[in-house]
Amino acid sequence: MMAAILRKTYRFLASYALAGVLLGILAVLTYQGTLEQVDLGLYAVQKKYFESAFVVTRLFGVIPLALPGAYVVLGLLFVNVIFGGILRLRRSWSRLGLYVTHVGIAFLLVSGFITFYFAEHGYLRLWEGERSDEYVSYYDWEVAVAPSSTGGPVTELLIPQEEFKDLAPDEIRTFTSEALPFDLALAGFLPNAEPRPRGAPNPGREPLVDGFFLKPLPPAKEASANLAGLQVAIREKKSGKTRRGLLWGGERHPLVFEVDGRRWSLDLRKKRRNLPFTVVLDRFIHKTYPRTMMPSEFTSEITKIEKGVERPLRITMNEPLRRGGYTLYQSGWGPENAPPGSRHFSVFAVVRNPADQFPLLACIVIALGLLLHFVPKFLTYLERQAEKRS
């Protein structure tokens, strides 16, 4: 009985019918997710269609549909490829190409999963002459606490976004450390917000702090443009005295306060991660085609310093720097209207992806598999047609 159920399940998971249904759903999700980018923006669409378990949508804006999200569909498709395209496939030379192709597809899906779960993305912005060994996340926030200092290294205590992103306005979470003479109580995380002065419309009755409140805003079309907000209460351990504040991602300066005669800074900022080397931007080159504003080249001449060894390198469009599991890409520059000869900054996209080159390998395997399968079939067809004619 159990064996029969397992056999049926296996057959279903390996079936062409399942492949057809999954591919059909994926086609609808991709189509809808493409069109809705115009109104929702890429990030929201990604969350809605491609990183979700379940989607409710209207096909062509009319037909209501409830579908599994691409996350689930791709997972099932992976199972279908393994069972139907690899394990269940009859072993024969004529099917070798199909076998190789499905292995390539499975590998591509695996690389997608690895990227989704393990890849880290961020950016590094450097002015000419500036150096750095850390990059900034596009989306993730952190709260940084440090002694306020005008120079010299300081030790920062960090609270990552995962620790406070679920906090509702009336939900308080307290963070404490032996290294700090105070505790921090965080509440009311807002993914996108804007501080407003007392007297401004406040339909949500957000709490006022020092004459300001944080107004929740809808998510920005470009998720990296969201500016998060958070309420904070600083409770001194000795005196029990509490002061309240608002942390906002768009604030240029950290919140500075004094406890037991020592000044501290508190900052809600985009998460920072370290690189295993230091990058110095020596020169940024921006060329346009003559008599146009059309860019012909963006290049950053950099020096990479690793374990005291300096190495001059260049990062340009389509030629990133790959080193130590990190890849730095030329992604932006500025200021756009700077007069000739003035100082520029360069922006590098920084990616740490364990599956960085997997798609290329998968592509080679898939191409090989498809050629192995279809070329002999085509040759056989040609032979038969020649026989027919003769």
CB atoms within 10 A of CB 341: 5
Draw the binding track, 128-167, toward other proteins (x: CB under 8 A; -: no contact). Answer: ----------------------------------------
Shortest distance (Å) from residue 236 CB to other proteins? 44
| DSSP state letters, 40-59 | H-HHHHIIIIIS-SEEEEEE
Determine if 12 is a binding residue for other proteins (CB under 8 A).
no
From residue 42, give the alpha-carbon distance in Å to each of 47, 51, 137, 359. 9, 12, 17, 22
The single residue among 10, 13, 19, 323 that binds other proteins, judged by CB under 8 A, is 19
Position 208 contacts other proteins (CB under 8 A): no
Binding string, residues 335-354; x marks residues near other proteins by CB under 8 A: --------------xxx---
C-beta of 121 vs 244, nearer to other proteins: 121
Q: Which of 112, 207, 354, 376 binds other proteins (CB under 8 A)?
A: 112
23 part of the interface to other proteins, by CB under 8 A:
yes
Say if CB 370 and CB 101 are below 8 A apart.
Answer: yes
Residue 279 forms beta bridges with which residues? 132, 304
Q: CA-CA distance, 120 to 349, in Å (whole number)? A: 11
Q: Are strands 212-216 and 321-323 parallel, antiparallel or unpaired?
A: unpaired
**CB of residue 260 to other proteins, shortest distance in Å:** 45
Nearer to other proteins among residue 27 and residue 200 (C-beta): 27
Residues 50-89 that bind other proteins (CB under 8 A): 50
Q: State the burial class of residue 179 (Cβ atoms within 10 Å of its Cβ: 0-12, 13-18, 19+).
A: exposed
Closest distance between other proteins and the C-beta of residue 54, in Å? Answer: 18
Nearer to other proteins, 142 or 356 (CB): 356
SS3 content of the chain, % helix, strand, coil (to 5): 35, 40, 30
